[in-house]
Amino acid sequence: MEASNRQTIEEYVNKHGGRRVLKRILIANNGMAATKAIMSMRQWSFLELGSQSELEFIAMASKDDLQANAEFIRLADSYVEVPAGKNTFNYANVDLIVQIAKEQRVDCVWPGWGHASENPALPLALAELGITFLGPTAPVMHALGDKIASTILAQSSKVPCIPWNGDGITAEIQSDGSIPQEPFKAACLQSYEEALACVRRIGYPVVLKASEGGGGKGIRKCTNDEELKTGWEQVCAEVVGSPIFMMQLCTGARHLEVQLMGDEHGQVVALIGRDCSTQRRFQKIFEEGPPTVADKDDFREAEKAAQRLAMSVGYRGAGTVEYLYKPDNKGFYFLELNPRLQVEHPVTEGITGVNVPALQLQVGMGIPLERVPDIRRFYGIDPAGDSKIDFLEDKYVYPQRHVIAARITAENPDDAFRPTSGTIERVRFQSAPNVWGYFSIGASGSIHEYADSQFGHLFATGPTREHARKALQLALKNILIVGEIRNPTEYLVELAETKEFKDNTIDTAWLDNLIAQKSVNVKFNVTDMVFYGACLKSFLHMKAAKAEIVDGIKRGHLPLETTLSSMQSFQVEIAYNSVKYNFQVTCTSPDTVTLTINSCSLEARFREQPDGSVYVRAGERVAQISGVEEPLGTRLRVEGIATVTFPKVRDPSELRSDFNGKLVRYLHADGADIKEGEPFVELEAMKMIMSLRSEVAGKIHHTLAPGAIVGAGDLLANLTLADPSKVQMIKAYSEPFSLSSPGNSISKKSASAVDLLSAAGPSTTDALQAILCGYSAPPQFGATGSAAVSIVQNLFKDIDENDSASMSEALEECCKLLGTFLDNERYFAGLVGGDETQTVKRFQGEPEELLSKIVAHTALPKAIAIVSAILRSLSDGPVLEGEVSSLPKQLVDQLTELSKFPGAGGYASVKLLASQLLTQMRKPLSLRREEVHSMLINTPRKELVKVANAYDTERRMYFGLDLISSMFSDPDGAVRNKAAEVYIMRTYRGYDVSDIDVVDSSDVTTGTPSAALHLMWSFSAPGVTTMPRKGYVIVLPDFNCFESLKKSWTFPSAPEISDLHILVAKVPGERSAMKREEVVTSLADKCQELITVVADKLDAKKADYVDVLLAHHGHNPTHLHFLKSSGWTEEKAYRNMRPTLPHLIELPVVEANYTLKPLQRGRVFALDLGVSKADKKTEIVFARGASHVPLTTDSFEEMAYNDLLTSCDFLERALLHPALDKKHPQCQVFLHVVPPIATTTNRDLNYIRVLFGTALQRFVADHSSRLELLRVSTIEMKVWSSSSPPKPLRLVAFKTGRWEALGFEEKLDSRGIPVEWTNIESGLKADCLEKLKPAVEQQRSTKRQIARAAGSTYIYDFPALMRNSLTKMWMQYTTADKIPESLVEATELALDDSEELVEKEQHGQNKIGMVAWKILMRSPEYPAGREIVLIGNDITIKGGSFGTTEDLLFDKASKLARAKGIPRIYIACNSGARIGGVDELKSLVKVSWVNKDDPMKGFEYIYLTDEDFKKLPEESVASHSITVNGETRHVLDAIIGKNLASTKGGIGVECLQGSGLIAGETSRAYEETFTLSYATGRSVGIGAYLNRLGQRNIQMVKGPMILTGPEPLNKLMGKQIYTSQDQLGGPHIMVPNGVTHQLVQNDQDGVEAIVRWLSFVPATVTSLPPMISAKDSISRKVQFKPIKGAYDPRHMLGGVMIDGEWVSGWCDEGSFHEYMAGWGKTVVVGRGRCGGLPVGIISVETRSCEKHIPADPQEPTSRDVIEMQAGQVWYPDSAYKTAQAIRDFNHGEGLPLVIFANWRGFSGGTRDMFAEVLKYGAMIVDALVEYKHPVTIYIPPNGELRGGAWVVLDPKINEEVIEMFADQDARGGILEPPGAAEIVFKKDKQVIELMHRCDHVLKDLTAKKAAGEDVAAQLKAREKLLLPLYQQVSQEYCDLHDRCPRMKSLGAIREGLTWEDSRAYLHWRIRRRVQENGAAKKMMRTVSGTSYAKASSFIASMTASAVQGVAKGSEDQ
């Protein structure tokens, strides 16, 4: 607005005749009233004055409104916070309002409506302060505001009134504006009795009213005496203390009202009126104006009557006179005069153009009504004029438009319009020219419990009522209110659509009747809304489940599979109109679900919007839905349709569990009657018994059995209701389910909204990706694993091998799918091998990303099936053979990555297929075929022999049989002939082949018209000198020739043909691998038909073998083998093997004893699973291959080594085969080297055996762990000497024979098959291969499989593993020929009949689950041998459980180790203490039931009959006898089981006694000798305790140590919490807590760790540590020097490679081994050697470390905790670790201890003090006090030892053994220099004194000061300048106290050392002390009573004497 049009409020008031200026306004209200007032007055200020700033609004704001983000607070200029709660505390509190008005110095108070707006005390109090009240005066308010008084005055003024209890009472208004009390009291009802009397006079129906009520409060309709009594009580309670009156209910009437405004000049204007007949419980719903139901003239008379009434009392301000209008007689009846503004006043504003709140303000300013511009406009005269207006006689301009208003309330139309409260997230409303509205709340606001339910008001206008009605409906449809509250907008839309409302024939009772009859409903399609309700619940479930899982991941919890499953597949129940819709929901992608009901499936896709709403696409329809779960049920809003609440209905006929637990018993028999509220079942949860009660009465029907595990919501019983009529029954929806057509119910969305969700159905790739990501395939594809494989076929079904585009597209799709798989599984593949339980901890990304990967990983089997199908399709299909110029690099990279996946973890099959496919892809077959074709053309026939026998890699590639077979159909006959010849030569390599000729005789060619070529040749098997055999090849152009061949086939004339080959050059092909298999099967059947037809001809030629080759286009040929020995049927086990390979690798020999199942076939190898024909259960994997590489004795050893390595590679692949999943068979390797070893004779056979043995020992030393992992039990190699004829030699080694090489010369039959074997050393013969095996080997096969299934190694194989480890260790020190012959001599220990320990070899025939040996092992430290005792569980017997006999053997073997003082090693793999029962009684016991006809009532006791009792031995049971019906019963009091076979070895408490026995023995063994445990498999209960009691533990990654398994714990908790034993005792638990000292990957590594540990341990507890020749020179310098900063102490100890150069550490190179690395990480503990001398080492980590405390799955609220620990500080865990290590070195190991001390002290914070750091620090002292061996403490360079850290290490703790040294650059003292300086220099006081002594400037200034000069400022400035420098001086001064010379001088250390020379010095010092210590101990053992001090003193004196003697001798010389 232009400045010239602006005016001040003062100017406006003066201009319009006002009396006062009101600028500062207090809004004494809230909500809608306050909002509307501020908005209206600001609007007026801007329009009239040109500025909004002329008025200033102060709001009152309660805490509730502030928290609700009320809109009026934002609109106000300022606010005053008032008390929260009921309005009597705030907005209705007159004293508070007046106080605020005074304090805020306001000009006026606007009261609004409700609250204090009708309290006369407010205007009265404000008047006393001179503050204007914008309303009537107090007396008038009192008179007219009271409904009783106003009715008396109206009655006195002859205004028509309806009959009421005050009929006929009149009164004159008094001078103070009130009426006399007597008539007023006479018009009030004082009691219910008076009300009853009155109703007898005026008759029902009546209305009870509180005169001070309003807004629907304090008013009740009553139609009978009972309602009257209830209504009386309710009205009294709602408006406490208010007078009450009664009026007759005027039925059929309309509620019309006149809006009045009076000024202080005596004028009253009527601003037309409103029709408010649409009411609910007297609360207005719709308001409209002008009233059209009454004639204009009639209504004008009602207006005038109202004006006269107001004028008669001097009314000022806004007021409303309410009438009841009877349309039938056109009569008006006075109801009341409201002395305030009303909510619906905007209707008046809409039809009159008058701003009513602004008019209130202007009236308050004293402006006459006739001078107000809005009023003058209303009357159609000049707004700026000042002419008079007669408001009674002058006519206003009647409005030409109609306005209808709708109140927006927080009420629930589905629950009788009950008010609701809660948050309102947002309100979306778009104003229009004909629609406007306002709201009392803003974004993220709320309706609190003390607020009015109305929060919005909408107004619609139009030229007619109908236009306004439609505009209002449209506005109501478009408004969006999101939040917890309910609102009736949709209901109002339907209400406005009713005929009565449209026809305007309603009355005041109309809406209440509609509500009672429920005749107005929002119209919608029920199935649509049910569907969207299911979608909403599905979305909310998925969202909540995901949020819960993500929260758990953030806290370190791995989601359970059941949790993930419930997120992806769940049930949704929707109940509506007593019908229950049960949907099964399955996720098909992160945002798509399939909802299935009654076999009807609907797919829905979700997209959540920022506002929380969700777009749902179902087919072609898109809907926007939102909603929440409420106590009443699920509230759903479908935008543009309706809001529906689906109630939570619980079928009372279904009794369900409220929690997880175990069903203990039903409390009533099945079919029994139970009462309402009566307990019906008992459940056990958390060890508590709880009962559940029935909500209704009925007959119970059990659904479960006692003992069943139930979850929350599970059905426990059904109930036949006693009175179904009292209960609303819910029936299940059973009809086909479908949605309406989209146009019927779903509003059209904008293009952008629809685009959010593509309508296109899922593609094949989409479906596969869904499965790969852990979801189900869409219903049209199927969701099973087999369905997934069939989906894969769709990717390749339309590929044209000549269309590169289609093939490229297929490859692109494959890359996409493989990429998805790799993205999902790459992380999990990296965890395989021990980190499987660390899924959450090791993930570096966001929790949501990890969740998506976990979801995918749970569907790994399906994903593997898909990827396998893809890889097979790639391998077998035409894609790789098409015209694709080059394969995508992405595909190659993906296959390479897949091939490197671990074989474990479920990835075996895809790893194998990827490896095979990579090999196939190296060069496509089509390209290689061209090269071979060229070679055949250019190679003369005479040179074919050379190239066919070539053995270089390149030539073998060219002339492979697969390629040669593709040449048989070449159009060039020469090529075909050469190809056939090469085929023969390649097939019969190793045989003596000669005379290859083409058969071209006319009888053959004519007699066989279908053949393209005939060839004959002669051949002999290797080593056979008898008559050569004949071979015959016939080449057929295609498969169609078979029919001709059946009819006409003339064989060559040779009398005998041994081998016959039918080569079919071309056969039908199929791209699909599945279909190709069908084709091959069909072809094989036809081949069988041919062979059957010509069988007689074959027999006539004395044939033994027929090979049929079927050459396929685009992939490898098929080989079919038919044997005469099999009746000329196909040998399917040989299918696709090269013709001579079965013979070369001796498969027929193997098949004599095993049934073979092929696993993998190659050109020169075969991998088969064999099942023993003898016992039908022993399984062995046979890896057998042939080599055609020529050898010499020089190359044999290396070749044997390499071939063994290759065999392991093949075997590794074979073990990935799905057929071996969950199987653990042993493996046997056989390699046949076909070419004879050059220049060897029969005399060289033993030499070859030695070479083989050497190669084998090297291989075992290098790859023992791999052999163990591959479960190899036998290695065989067959070679030939080059004598004439060649002699076969079989070389054999067995695992149980410690891999010792044996040699057997073979005798062959005429066909080259071995029939006899002779040992070349002993001369012993055998006629069967199985007899070559040691007897032990044959016995252990089954037990090995059992042990492997338990994740361990058979206990009897551990001595062999020990030998492997010792071999490997020896080879680090010497050559193979210098290794002792027998490295391990194991003598088994067993119990004899008297249970004494004896030496007894059992060879695996043990009867108890415990085995022990006394082992002599020869190691580099003890070449002559040292003894140990090895004890181990035998997992193959009763699960390795501890029975009493097992305990006894363990105890005695351990005591033997203690008695001999030798190490005791325990191999742990067990099931804990044995548990069982007395089996003999199970078939004898009987049960006495309370009621034998009703077992559900329980039983009384268990008993034995007298006959059965007498059969039992004594002490088998404890019982007492009773007689029942003449029968003697022995009631069981206890089952003892003595003298019964089933209790032998223990079944219960006796096993616990045995556990106690061995627990105590293990504890004593640790104290007295060396104990070490190796957890090779699970260790349960006592097994875990034994490991801990032995202290030192090595753990295999799959060897958990647990007290109880996850299943019992889950049962105890009543739900699945733990999923694996590793969560309870796996390496990620036991390594960080220090129980495990070292972690290994497999048993071979575990035994190597045992042997390595023993290398540091003396032979006996009395022996000295074992010295060995050091690789490093004792005198070498230590190159790695510790720095002042952080460094890795392991580099200081063991050395490190820096920039390619070795920087040596303190220990011998390679000798330092760290232990307990995962626990107490600020301390490093290990064992190493210094100059060959073994030492225990403790060092300090100088870098900060992390301590990880995992979240406990048992406690969902727990979280992963990472605690940072500073370097050089002892924490509770590292202090404990230090003490533990000292004890370990002392007990049994007897090691000299070296502590590299670099500690600043102990962590003394609250957390660590609480965690007992003080106790563990003291344990270090305790451990040093009892240490019996030399202890050397060395403070390294730049190290420091401070305070408490020095105290616990000081030599005076144990002066006999501890010596301390310090490096010249080390420090030792109480505090670090900065801290010490603070104390020593008294916080800088003495530092300043030092400055004044040393600084010449300060000296001069001090002198000047003494001379009287003012130099104080200069002194202070100089001191400040020098203070930092002199602080450094003070710290240096303190540091000088902590240096090596002072420590040495005071005797705190023995000597100061230099780091580079410390190794040599300490070696000799420790070595001497070890010898002295050993001598002293020996003296103590020899001379009884000698103390250690006395012995040491004696040795010292002897040493001194010897030194003196040497010195004297030197002097004499």
Give the strand order in the sheet containing 1105-1110.
992-998, 1013-1020, 1029-1036, 1059-1064, 1105-1110, 1118-1123, 1129-1130
Of 889, 601, 588, the C-alpha closest to 762 is 588
Tell me how far apart the alpha carbons of residues 1971 and 534 are, in angstroms, rounded to a whole number. Answer: 84
Please tell me what DSSP assigns to residue 1377.
Answer: G
Of 919, 824, 908, 931, the C-alpha closest to 874 is 919
Tell me how far apart the alpha carbons of residues 60 and 699 are, in angstroms, rounded to a whole number. Answer: 61
Helix (H) or strand (E) holding 1315: strand 1314-1319
Question: Mind telling me the catalytic residues?
Answer: 340
CB proximity list for 639: less than 8 A, separation 6 or greater: 480, 613, 623, 624, 625, 626, 747
Of 894, 889, 766, 765, the C-alpha closest to 818 is 894
Name beta bridge partners: 1187.
1233
Going by their DSSP bridges, the two strands 108-110 and 132-133 should be labelled as: parallel
Residue 1025: CB atoms within 10 Å:
12
Provide the 3-class DSSP secondary structure of residue 1328.
coil
Going by their DSSP bridges, the two strands 1571-1575 and 1593-1596 should be labelled as: parallel
Going by their DSSP bridges, the two strands 1858-1863 and 1831-1835 should be labelled as: parallel
Region for residue 581 given its phi and psi (left: phi exceeds 0; alpha: psi -120 to 50; beta: otherwise)? beta
| Burial letters 523-557, b for 16+ CB under 10 A, else e | ebbebbbbbbbbbbbbbbbbeebbeebbebbbbbb
Residue pair 550/1754 in contact by the 8 Å Cβ criterion? no
Tell me how far apart the alpha carbons of residues 371 and 1290 are, in angstroms, rounded to a whole number. Answer: 129
Of 1181, 1157, 1212, 1213, the C-alpha closest to 912 is 1213
Q: How many CA atoms lie within 13 A of 2012 on its CB side?
A: 6
C-alpha separations of 999 from 385, 1013, 1712 in Å: 135, 8, 75
Residue pair 1287/1280 in contact by the 8 Å Cβ criterion? yes
Of 301, 359, 365, 353, the C-alpha closest to 331 is 301
Residue 1466: CB atoms within 10 Å:
29
Tell me how far apart the alpha carbons of residues 1795 and 1790 are, in angstroms, rounded to a whole number. Answer: 15
Residue pair 436/387 in contact by the 8 Å Cβ criterion? no
CB proximity list for 1251: less than 8 A, separation 6 or greater: 1193, 1196, 1197, 1200
Residue pair 1271/1223 in contact by the 8 Å Cβ criterion? no
Tell me how far apart the alpha carbons of residues 62 and 452 are, in angstroms, rounded to a whole number. Answer: 14
Helix (H) or strand (E) holding 621: strand 621-630
Provide the 3-class DSSP secondary structure of residue 291.
coil
Residue pair 907/913 in contact by the 8 Å Cβ criterion? no
Helix/strand/coil (H/E/C) assignment for every residue in 934-974? HHHHHCCHHHHHHHHCCCCHHHHHHCCHHHHHCCCCCCCHH
Tell me how far apart the alpha carbons of residues 1624 and 1605 are, in angstroms, rounded to a whole number. Answer: 8
Residue pair 772/863 in contact by the 8 Å Cβ criterion? yes
